[in-house]
């Protein structure tokens, strides 16, 4: 039996109660608390601020007549476990991670969008929930809604297998770290993921997809490319982020509209 929140119960980490969510069953989850307001207002100009606790900033929006929570996860797998655990208890059933990423294939350019079909679990947090043989796979309906929305909006996108890491530097084979040291086990890892056809590096997808699958919740992931790892380790300037942001915001909104219509 699921441990849903009691009336008036406030979740310790995210600072939200069922009453504050007004029955929201859908959540958009960016990593950065600073991006929540922009995303919430992009999907609903009348969105309202709810709370800010630790890395979890939340706003409530309305899309196609349905309340939608927009809440940041912070960075990395452990942070996103709080999102699924506590929002699950509050009745959220569908999660869409909306983030940024480094692309691994030549045909993915800065500002493009990647929709994850699945993710490689190199992170650690999901291992507290399921053995490594368990796949981190995205919900089919959420993924198809994201894909159809991207097509409809003519946003350049790829569906792919994402590599989720616990480290932005060695985990993604970046040498511009504090020490520049790369453990032997990770030397050549970027080339290997490329050879396996993986599309992108990021830091939350595998944890979100594994936990949602284990809990019988739905999850999908859309990320904007802000580093083109076939060219460089660098993160692109803010204008690239702006372009990617505009695209993933539009796609997320349209995908939500599609899902909400299909769920009715
Ligand atoms: N996020 C990542 O985890 N890696 C990148 O290269 C860009 C964004």
Catalytic: which of 229, 245, 247, 254? 229
Tell me the CA–centroid distance for residue 43 and ligand 1, in Å: 24
Tell me how far the alpha carbon of residue 159 is from its chain's centroid.
14
Tell me the CA–centroid distance for residue 37 and ligand 1, in Å: 21
Q: Which residues contact 194 (CB under 8 A, 6 or more apart)?
A: 104, 105, 230
Tell me the CA–centroid distance for residue 39 and ligand 1, in Å: 19
In angstroms, the CA 214 to CA 209 distance is 9
Structure tokens at 197: 């056809």
Residue 174 designated active-site: yes
Q: Which residues contact 57 (CB under 8 A, 6 or more apart)?
A: 33, 36, 37, 51, 71, 72
Residue 13 designated active-site: yes
Q: Which among 192, 226, 188 is positioned nearest to 108, based on CA atoms?
A: 226
Ligand 1 pocket test, pick from 102, 114, 164, 199 with the greatest ligand atom count within 8 Å of Cβ, gives 102
- pLDDT tens per residue, range 199-211: 999 999 999 999 9
Across 181-191, average pLDDT: 98
Structure tokens at 163: 């590599």
Residue 53 designated active-site: no
- pLDDT tens per residue, range 94-106: 999 999 999 999 9
- pLDDT tens per residue, range 137-177: 999 999 999 999 999 999 999 999 999 999 999 999 999 99
In angstroms, the CA 137 to CA 80 distance is 16
- pLDDT tens per residue, range 31-84: 999 999 999 999 999 999 999 999 999 999 999 999 999 999 999 999 999 999
Q: What is the pLDDT of residue 206?
A: 99
Residues with CB under 6 A from ligand 1: 100-102, 168, 172, 201-203, 226-227, 235
How would you label 175-187 residue by residue, b for 16+ Cβ within 10 Å and e otherwise? eeeeeeebeeebe
**With the CA atoms of 137, 143, 144 and 147 taken in that order, what torsion angle do they form, in degrees rounded to the nearest 10?**
-130
Q: In terms of pTM, does the model score above 0.95?
A: yes
Q: Which atom of ligand 1 is nearest to the CA of 168?
A: 3
Catalytic: which of 66, 86, 123, 202? 86
Catalytic: which of 25, 35, 121, 174? 174
Tell me the CA–centroid distance for residue 94 and ligand 1, in Å: 24
């Amino acid at each position: 039996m699921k441990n849903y929140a009691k009336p008036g119960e406030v979740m310790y980490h995210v600072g939200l109660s069922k009453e504050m969510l007004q029955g929201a069953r859908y959540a958009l989850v960016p990593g950065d608390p600073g991006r929540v307001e922009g995303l919430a207002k992009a999907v609903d100009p009348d969105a309202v601020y709810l709370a800010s606790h630790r890395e979890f900033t939340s706003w409530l929006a309305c899309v196609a007549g349905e309340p939608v929570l927009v809440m940041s996860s912070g960075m990395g797998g452990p942070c996103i476990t709080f999102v699924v655990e506590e929002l699950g208890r509050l009745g959220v059933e569908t999660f869409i991670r909306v983030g940024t990423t480094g692309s691994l294939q030549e045909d993915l350019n800065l500002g493009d969008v990647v929709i994850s079909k699945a993710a490689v679990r190199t992170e650690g947090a999901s291992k507290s929930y399921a053995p490594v043989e368990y796949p981190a796979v995205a919900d089919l309906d959420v993924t198809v809604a994201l894909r159809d929305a991207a097509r409809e909006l003519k946003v350049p996108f790829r569906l792919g297998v994402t590599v989720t890491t616990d480290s932005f530097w060695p985990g993604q084979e970046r040498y511009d770290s504090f020490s520049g040291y790369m453990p032997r086990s990770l030397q050549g890892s970027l080339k290997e993921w490329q050879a396996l056809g993986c599309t992108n590096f990021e830091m939350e997808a595998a944890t979100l997809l594994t936990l949602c699958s284990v809990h019988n919740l739905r999850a999908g992931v859309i990320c904007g490319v802000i580093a083109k790892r076939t060219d460089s380790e660098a993160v692109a300037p803010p204008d690239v982020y702006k372009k990617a942001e505009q695209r993933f915001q539009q796609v997320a909104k349209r995908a939500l509209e599609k899902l909400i219509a299909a769920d009715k």
